[in-house]
Structure 1
Amino acid sequence: MKGKILLAEDEISLGEIIKESLDSRGFLVEHVACGKKAIEVFKSFSPDIVVLDIMMPHKDGFEVSREIRMLDRNVPIIFLTAKNRTQDVIDGFENGANDFIKKPFSMEELIVRINSHLRISKINFEQQWVSIGKYKFNFEHQILDLHGKETTLTYKESLLLNELIKKRNQVLDRSYILNLVWGTDDFFSARSMDVFITKIRKYLKDDPLIKIVNIRGIGYKLVV
């Protein structure tokens, strides 16, 4: 499989033609016909790239793109639309798009652009990994990897681990991390952070050379 594509196109016949053409070239395509469904499928399907029409029922392509960008800052988004004013193109890019293809279009052009964005996305994804002992961590995608076994972290877990990594072998100030992740350094947030630290220790338990040390009254230190 070359990649997973979310195609949001409300013209059913055109959407099916595009889907069949992409399927035949080794892509896995989910086709939806409205903006609301596009968001639902994006969350469950986790596509590698999104192809959006602008004029769709319930939510237009601009709104869908904005919502996708709140969920994923990196997935490539291509607008595929009959709207061809300069302002439409500007609006597309300002709402999170990576590319803009005007109808009518050729399938070969669409495929070339999809492949180009997937290559760029793959390079960026590979550059986002940092090593922690035996582990690799990708903050943008919230993934901790041990020899190909991936653990998906929550956003707060990822943010906390990322700060520990940036200050590896140094003390991470308790008040700083509480305000960054929880927005306050009160008692309840501090107890919550202790729970999160325990979770991260469990995630890293398969490398005995990694430790998260509690520096009482000051903060935590990731020792690698």
Structure 2
Amino acid sequence: MEDKKQYQILLCEDDTNLGMVLKNYLELNEYEVTLERDGRLGLAAFQREKFDICLLDVMMPNMDGFTLAEEIRDIDPDVPLFFLSAKTMKDDIIQGYKLGADDYITKPFDSEVLLMKIKAILKRNEEENKINDNIEFDLGGYHFNPKLRELKIGATMQTLSPKENELLKMLAEHKNDLLPRERALKKIWGSDTYFNGRSMDVYIAKLRKYLKEDTNIEIVNIHGNGFRLVAP
């Protein structure tokens, strides 16, 4: 029987009591929770680990929740993000949504309602990911099937390793656009350390070799930012 996935939650809350109550409640419901008590520590945790959803207080020391959300969105524009805030003014709520929040929950709130909202958005993301798993790509003369990990050109087929497959899929999803280096490292390797960066460079070199049969295809290094897959 396949093990049920344990979702990872980043909870940033400077109220010690509320933070611990929420952490314990979510862990009782089989989530793994990392609790940080200021925005700067929250950002460090997000850069270090991979999370399925972020729950952010707005008023925190060192870095407020709005600024933290901007930093998180620069790294990963897709991770679900909720604000948990005592700031109930319309302008604050609008700002939260403009920063890319999936929900803005005002304090005090019911923990069970929060849990239902978390379950709903994670289920939605899981269903979207299943749909995305079935997408195939035509890249110049190549046909790429991520589900089967197959890259074909004519009668030649290359079976990709899991990391090669994930990296090419991300490049294909951003075809002719920038794939931020930090985003790829975070999603595939789990963190953007120096050694993981060097590892990704090796995989980029492998993909360039696999794609060399079509001279119209190129993986361009955008120095300091990431990579662009140039393809018809």
Preserved CA contact (<8 Å) 1:7 1:50: yes
Q: CA deviation at 1:197?
A: 6.6
- Residue in 1 aligned with 2:21? 17
In the alignment, residue 159 of structure 1 is paired with which amino acid? L
Q: CA deviation at 1:181?
A: 5.4
Change (3 A) 1:13 1:22: same
Q: CA deviation at 1:111?
A: 0.2
Q: CA deviation at 1:64?
A: 0.6
Give TM-score, length-normalised by structure 1.
0.68
In the alignment, residue 37 of structure 1 is paired with which amino acid? L
Determine which structure has more spread, i.e. the larger CA radius of gyration. 1
Q: CA deviation at 1:97?
A: 0.6
Preserved CA contact (<8 Å) 1:160 1:181: no
* Structure 2 residue 63 is matched with structure 1 residue 49: no
* Structure 2 residue 103 is matched with structure 1 residue 95: no
3-state SS, counterpart of residue 59 of structure 1: coil
Change (3 A) 1:196 1:25: closer
Tell me how far apart the structure 2 counterparts of residues 119 and 199 of structure 1 sit (CA, whole Å): 35
* Structure 2 residue 157 is matched with structure 1 residue 153: no
Tell me how far apart the structure 2 counterparts of residues 9 and 109 of structure 1 sit (CA, whole Å): 18
Q: Structure 1: where are the runs of 5+ without partners? A: 138-144, 164-176, 183-194, 205-210
In the alignment, residue 207 of structure 2 is paired with which amino acid? I
Q: What does 1:120-135 align with in structure 2 at a 5 Å threshold?
A: 120-129=124-133, 130-131=135-136, 132-133=144-145, 134-135=148-149
The count of residues paired between Structure 1 and Structure 2 equals 175
Tell me how far apart the structure 2 counterparts of residues 105 and 47 of structure 1 sit (CA, whole Å): 23
- Residue in 2 aligned with 1:82? 86
- Residue in 2 aligned with 1:220? 217
3-state SS, counterpart of residue 35 of structure 2: strand
Q: CA RMSD in A?
A: 3.2
In the alignment, residue 199 of structure 1 is paired with which amino acid? K
Aligned-pair identity (%): 31
Q: CA deviation at 1:198?
A: 4.0
Tell me how far apart the structure 2 counterparts of residues 78 and 67 of structure 1 sit (CA, whole Å): 14
